């Protein structure tokens, strides 16, 4: 396990670290809620609560009760989750729909003291449904700009759908490049991780890099260590969504600790989709079986994310609470919170400003 951890401003990328003042009058849950936080793994469409689905459906002439909507938010595996995601997003048909869910998402984030978030937008789905990407994203961006008045800074990651293939992914990447002056900071791929090998998307990621966008992928969620290795070796990704499959490969964990390629870890998501059960080869796996503590203590750079919080009945606050249940200390979770800003796809000066504000609040809390 790494030794003492501190937060020197000139060495905020790397551990090992400890808090300057580990004594605080706040209990761990209250302390973590009071800290300003970054959310780096959040899907806009996955923030839609059942009540909002009912509202969206009604606006399109579909009668639906909240109980009926809630029933759709129950699944035992990743395929079931994807089917539910497809159903929920079927009610996103107009720019006003996207503006509504962006406002609702922003309210939730602000209530959790989130001051910075990078949010996935399922542009691959928009294109598949032949929707107007420009009009839909402008509505999202405008609603996101409103949140800045309340202290929330939003950036966007355009997400392609892996099983749709490289050509479809390239179209998403080109849209990301067109709209990068409107807050799009990265391109990523989600969807069915095992459907198409990472190597098939090499040209897409080369184009993304040439356009000056950051590179992201979901890997090691249901896939094993090789899925993560391929994403790094073939696509040169800068950050990995989930990544828990690396727990099976000590050498890869050590390599990630050395390179400090961040993993965005989403424990509740991994539980609800069956990803954790798959990785542990245990259908009864519980949140306490999650490898978060092992990954952190091995020196990997970790951020916590809520992924699709409405669909997994969670929140970013709840993910930090889960970290405590997994045996991470308050010290360690405060460091993970700081790493959320370190791992952000932001210019160094903006990142440093967010970190200064974070450390100022941390010190004021006696942490």
Handedness of CA 124, 130, 135, 136 (dihedral sign): negative
39 is catalytic: no
Query: What is the length of the chain?
Result: 367
Please report, in angstroms and rounded to a whole number, the separation of the first and last CA atoms in the chain.
21
* Number of continuous H segments (helices) and E segments (strands) in the chain: 17, 8
Q: Is 196 left (phi over 0), alpha (psi -120 to 50) or beta?
A: beta
Please report, for residues 120, 140, 222, 290, 333, the alpha-carbon distance to residue 245 in angstroms, rounded to integers and kept in the order given.
Answer: 22, 33, 7, 11, 21
**Token digits for 310?**
């409405």
Helix axes 225-235, 202-210, angle to 10 degrees: 50
Say if CB 166 and CB 204 are below 8 A apart.
yes
Got the DSSP string for 17-44? ---S----SS-HHHHHHHS-EEEEEEEG
Cα 346 from Cα 348, distance rounded (Å): 6
Please report, for residues 136, 335, 355, the alpha-carbon distance to residue 352 in angstroms, rounded to integers and kept in the order given.
Answer: 32, 15, 5
> Considering 55, 118, 193, 221, which one is annotated as catalytic?
221
Residue that has been written with the tokens 């929920």 in this structure: 88
Which positions ≥6 away from 68 have C-beta within 8 Å?
Answer: none
Residue 307 pairs with which residues in a beta bridge?
42
Say if CB 231 and CB 240 are below 8 A apart.
yes
Catalytic residues: 221
């Amino acid at each position: 396990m790494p030794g003492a951890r501190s937060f020197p401003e000139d060495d905020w990328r790397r551990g090992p670290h400890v808090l300057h003042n580990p004594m605080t009058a706040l209990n761990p849950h209250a302390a973590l809620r009071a800290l300003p936080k970054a959310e780096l793994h959040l899907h806009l469409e996955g923030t839609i609560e059942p009540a909002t689905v009912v509202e969206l459906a009604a606006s399109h002439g579909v009668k639906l009760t909240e109980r009926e909507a809630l029933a759709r938010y129950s699944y035992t595996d990743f395929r079931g989750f994807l089917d539910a995601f497809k159903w929920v997003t079927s009610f996103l048909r107009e720019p006003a729909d996207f503006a509504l869910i962006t406002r609702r998402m922003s309210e939730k984030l602000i209530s959790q003291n989130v001051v910075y978030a990078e949010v996935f937008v399922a542009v691959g789905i928009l294109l598949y449904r032949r929707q107007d990407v420009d009009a839909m994203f402008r509505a999202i961006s405008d609603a996101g700009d409103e949140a800045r008045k309340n202290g929330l800074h939003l950036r966007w990651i355009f997400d392609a759908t892996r099983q749709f293939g490289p050509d479809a992914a390239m179209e998403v990447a080109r849209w990301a490049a067109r709209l990068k002056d409107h807050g799009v900071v990265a391109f990523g791929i989600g969807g069915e991780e095992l459907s198409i090998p990472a190597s098939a998307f090499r040209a897409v990621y080369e184009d993304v890099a040439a356009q000056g966008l950051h590179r992201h992928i979901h890997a090691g969620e249901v896939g094993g260590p090789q899925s993560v290795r391929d994403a790094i070796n073939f696509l040169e990704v800068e950050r990995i969504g989930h990544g828990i499959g690396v727990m099976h490969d000590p050498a890869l964990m050590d390599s990630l600790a050395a390179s400090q390629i961040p993993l965005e870890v989403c424990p509740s998501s991994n539980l609800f989709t069956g990803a954790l059960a798959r990785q542990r080869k245990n259908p009864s796996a519980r949140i306490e079986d999650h490898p978060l503590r092992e990954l952190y203590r091995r020196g990997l750079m970790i951020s916590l994310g809520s992924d699709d919080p409405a669909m997994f009945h969670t929140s970013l606050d709840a993910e930090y609470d889960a970290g405590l249940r997994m045996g991470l200390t308050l010290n360690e979770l405060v460091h993970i919170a700081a790493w959320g800003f370190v791992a952000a796809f932001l210019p160094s000066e903006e990142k440093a400003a967010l970190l200064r504000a974070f450390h100022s609040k941390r010190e004021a809390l006696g942490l």
